Amino acid sequence: MSGETAIGIHDLSIATTRYVLTHATLAAQIGSDVAKYERGIGQVSMSVAAPDEDIVTMAAAAAEPIVARHGADRIRTVVFATETAVDQAKAAGIHVHSLLGLPSATRVVELKQACYSGTAALQFGISLVHRDPAEQVLVIASDVSKYDLGSPGEATQGAAAVAMLVSADPALVRIEDPSGIFTADIMDFWRPNYRTTALVDGRESISAYLQAVEGTWKDYTERGGHDLDEFRAFCYHQPFTKMANKAHRHLLNYCGHEVDEAAVNRAIGHTTTYNAVIGNSYTASMYVALASLLDNADDLTDQAIGFLSYGSGAVAEFFAGTVVPGYRALLRSRSHREAISRRQDIDYARYREIHEHSFPVDGGDYPVPRETTGPFRLAGLSGHKRIYEPR
């Protein structure tokens, strides 16, 4: 625990997109065996953002129910983690702050380090609450994962946002010390400023991830963390859900445990349900895994959960959380399932059109057609400014 005050996740809400592309559709289009996706990488479908959706609209959709439930009086900081920034200077969280009508006495900042920055944002929030337990921090992780058409990464796209309220005496999960941390300068996945799609060395990225599992676990245990057997479940960053399986097998092996498929499934089972149909949501992915676990597993009260957050480049962190008694009454399971199930299936031609869509860069007025069914939308661009509005 952080000092004497229990601090952690008081509320958790996820949002995703208007559209979904199934891997069956993708496989049929590119002449691949769908089993390569469904069994090989553990993905069934991926969320596709409509042109009037982006990291801001998803983030605001995820955060709105949290503010509705708890009010904004204690929220003095909004930390927005993303690697799909919509501006090089202004924090995307300021748009969310405005859409949700948060008080002006708020600090808003954006954090970046590939998929890891959601965890940096959570730890930043915990530190602020530790300093003043009366404050709450709204932590948001929101991303749209995009690779080139026809590239191996294409099957691992997706999009989602997670909003978490970080608070003293949290109602869902207490986040504990110590953390095991790891950084290594590895070019496994990156996106230069002039590209809209990521570059990746797929095999290198998987081995970098597994190296980070070892590095974080070594640091975690050296700092006196729990034994492996004390964890009930593990939420891994899931670029594709099979990666969680690979990571947990690797951890068992590294710790000298027998790699038993039933034990792996018990540890990660319910954490992959949402990500298998949403796809990679970068910064949000590990927290989507947590939502999936809390929503779908039997009672986890007082159980320890392990978290492995990985961001290419590469930075990673392993830490533990303990599920708080009474958490089940506060879950948003129904709205999470609805957000996933109400997505509209699109064909390959429509997906391709959306993938290739980009706005002109001449500063003109460009309204965006209404497509999202979410509560907020990108209304258009005007004078190089993005205009957001409630739907």
Active site residue ranges: 83, 115, 237
Task: By CB under 6 A, tell whether 308 contacts ligand HMG.
Answer: no
Q: CB neighbours (10 Å) of residue 68?
A: 11
Distance CA 72, CA 254 (A): 44
Stretch that binds ligand HMG, among 67-75, 128-136, 212-220, 237-245 (CB under 6 A): 237-245
What six digits make up the tokens of 260? 């038993």
CB of 245: closest distance to ligand HMG in angstroms? 8
Q: What angle do CA 112, 117, 118 make, to 5 degrees?
A: 135
Q: Which of 77, 84, 275, 280 binds ligand HMG (CB under 6 A)?
A: 280
Please report whether residue 159 would count as binding ligand HMG according to CB under 6 A.
no
Exposed / middle / buried, residue 262 (Cβ in 10 Å: 0-12, 13-18, 19+)? exposed
- State both tokens at 224: 């006196």
Q: Quote the least distance from Cβ 118 to ligand HMG, whole Å.
A: 10
Cis peptide before 178 (omega within 30 of 0): yes
State the minimum distance, in angstroms, from the CB of residue 62 to ligand HMG. Answer: 19
**Residue 67 or 316 with smaller CB distance to ligand HMG:** 316
Report the residue number, 81 or 173, with the smaller CB distance to ligand HMG: 81
Place of tokens 């593990």: 234
Out of 239, 321, 374, 380, which residue is the one contacting ligand HMG (CB under 6 A)? 239
* 388, two tokens: 């957001």
**Minimal distance, residue 368 CB to ligand HMG, in Å:** 26
Can you tell me which of 75, 111, 173, 200 binds ligand HMG, judged by CB under 6 A?
Answer: 200
Which of 232, 239, 220 shows the shortest CA–CA distance to 319? 220
Q: Cβ distance 164 to 122 under 8 Å?
A: yes
CB count, 10 Å around CB of 48?
26
Nearest approach in angstroms of CB 274 to ligand HMG is 16
What is residue 79's three-state secondary structure? strand
By beta carbon distance, the residue nearest ligand HMG is: 40
Strand 231-236 to 304-311 pairing: parallel
152 contributes a contact to ligand HMG by CB under 6 A? yes
Tell me if 312 contacts ligand HMG by CB under 6 A. Answer: yes
292 binds ligand HMG (CB under 6 A): no
Q: Which stretch binds ligand HMG (CB under 6 A): 1-9, 199-207, 212-220, 295-303?
A: 199-207
Write out the E strands in 191-292. Answer: 199-200, 231-236
Taking the complex as a whole, how short is the minimal distance between the CB of residue 175 and ligand HMG, in angstroms? Answer: 21
Q: Which of 40, 65, 133, 269 binds ligand HMG (CB under 6 A)?
A: 40
Compute the distance between CA of residue 64 and CA of residue 52 in angstroms, rounded to an integer: 18
Piece of 235-243, 249-257, 261-269, 375-383 that binds ligand HMG (CB under 6 A): 235-243
Gap between the terminal Cα atoms of the chain: 41
User: Where in 82-101 is the site for ligand HMG (CB under 6 A)?
Assistant: 83
Kindly give, in sequence order, each residue whose CB lies less than 8 Å from that of residue 207, ignoring residues fewer than 6 positions away.
none
Q: Does 279 bind ligand HMG (CB under 6 A)?
A: no
Of 51-59, 211-219, 256-264, 305-313, which segment contacts ligand HMG by CB under 6 A? 305-313
Are 114 and 311 in contact by the 8 Å Cβ rule? The answer is: yes
Round to whole Å and give the CA distance between 368 and 359: 10
The minimum distance between CB 198 and ligand HMG, in angstroms, equals 7
Q: How many residues does the chain have?
A: 391
Instruction: Give residues in contact with ligand HMG (CB under 6 A).
Output: 33, 35-36, 39-41, 83, 114-115, 152-153, 155-156, 188-189, 200, 202, 205-206, 209, 237, 239-240, 243, 280, 282, 310-312
